[in-house]
Amino acid sequence: MRYSLDTADHDTLAPEALQQLGARADAPVFWPLRLQNRLALPGLAGGIVAVAFLLLAWAAAGGGHIAALPTAQVGEALFFALSLGLIVELAALIPRAAQGDLDALSTELTLDPTHIERLKASLIRYQTGDVAVNATIGLAIGVLHVALLGSGWAAVSGDPLSFVLALGTVALWAMMVQTGTLFVANARLFAHLGRSGVRVEILMLDRLRPFASAALRPMLLVMVLLAAYPLMLLGTAAGLEASAAIGPVATALLALAVVWLPLRGLRARIREARAQQIKRIDAAIAEALQAVDKHGVPDEPQRLEALIALRNRVQAAPALPVGLGGIGRGLLYLALPVVTWGGKGFAEALLNWLF
């Protein structure tokens, strides 16, 4: 009996599914990517956004010395400047890197090269109408968020700096909803590929590690935003109020979605492939046990031992193609907010000493 580990007998994705997944290939490039391409210097777009917000906050404060401002407002201004700058940068960097993940998977995909190119193009593209809709949703959530904070919009109407900080809340929500929607759409694309468009060979899962990269990379943006939140707490009590906790909770939920979705389909395929291969090996073992000599000893003991060893290897194969490097990267990302939240007191003391 011939036994093979090749499980590449899956059909390609149905044309309907491919059309849906690759529909964004005809849409415009997501605007942060266009902005970065025009500036042609890494970090310049995010730096401009961050500096512009700080200058706007400084002007709203009357252009006076920063030492005259409360520590809490300085922390808020720094938070919004840093968060908006980073999200503009990473909203372009992460989808572009996802294209590299798809390139690395190209030899393992069961799709036509033309379809692969369309899927690759779709990773950095966004329908103009969807951008507008998601930006509007984000703006509405931001307005509601400000209304839930303290006395709401009425409290900031007579204070230019507070008004600018409120606008920072609205702008950040608008960017998060746009970018988060793109990340989730890309995560769904990798989930479909993992479920129906890739070869799965249980003993060679290293070839599929780009799926883990695609899952972990958006986590960087989410963890960076969480890591920046302690700036919002400078000069305040140690804990977050319920209204102020809306942002961190929403960010954490986004992290769960963008990390789990790309791996969900692949995990199901791996489990199915493992079960099928174990079933085949068990059939081969049963056949080997039936072929015995006159003493009841298997005719091919070495083959039987090899089959049993193979079964053990297949059974012990990981459920996901996440190596030590991926685990280490994930732990590093998780450590970012832990370190910054723990360093809140030091940052507050530093600001008080400087200003």
Residue 52 lies in a domain: yes
Work out the average pLDDT over 132-139. Answer: 94
Helix, strand and coil percent figures for the chain, each rounded to 5: 75, 0, 20
Residue 238 lies in a domain: yes
Residue 113 lies in a domain: yes
Range of the domain at 343: 24-266+322-354
**What per-residue confidence (pLDDT) applies to 195?**
85
What tens digit of pLDDT does each residue of 207-247 get?
898 998 888 888 777 777 777 777 776 655 545 454 455 55
Number of domains the chain is built from: 1
**What per-residue confidence (pLDDT) applies to 295?**
59
Residue 333 lies in a domain: yes
Per-residue b or e along 178-210, where b marks 16 or more CB atoms closer than 10 Å to that residue's CB: bbbbbbebbbbbbbbbbbbbbbbbbeebebbbb
Q: What angle do CA 25, 28, 33 make, to 5 degrees?
A: 105
Percentage of the chain beyond pLDDT 90 is 27
Q: Is the pLDDT of residue 44 over 50?
A: yes
CA distance 352 to 333: 29
Residue 309 lies in a domain: no
Q: How many alpha carbons fall within 13 Å on the CB side of residue 327?
A: 5
Residue 92 lies in a domain: yes
What tens digit of pLDDT does each residue of 160-182 get?
888 898 899 999 999 989 998 99
Q: How many alpha carbons fall within 13 Å on the CB side of residue 98?
A: 31
Residue the block writes with tokens 């809306």: 246
Q: How many alpha carbons fall within 13 Å on the CB side of residue 74?
A: 17
Phi, psi angle pair for 228, to nearest 5°: -80, -15
The answer to whether the beta carbons of residues 113 and 96 sit under 8 Å apart is no
Residue 313 lies in a domain: no
Phi, psi angle pair for 149, to nearest 5°: -90, 125
Residue 161 lies in a domain: yes
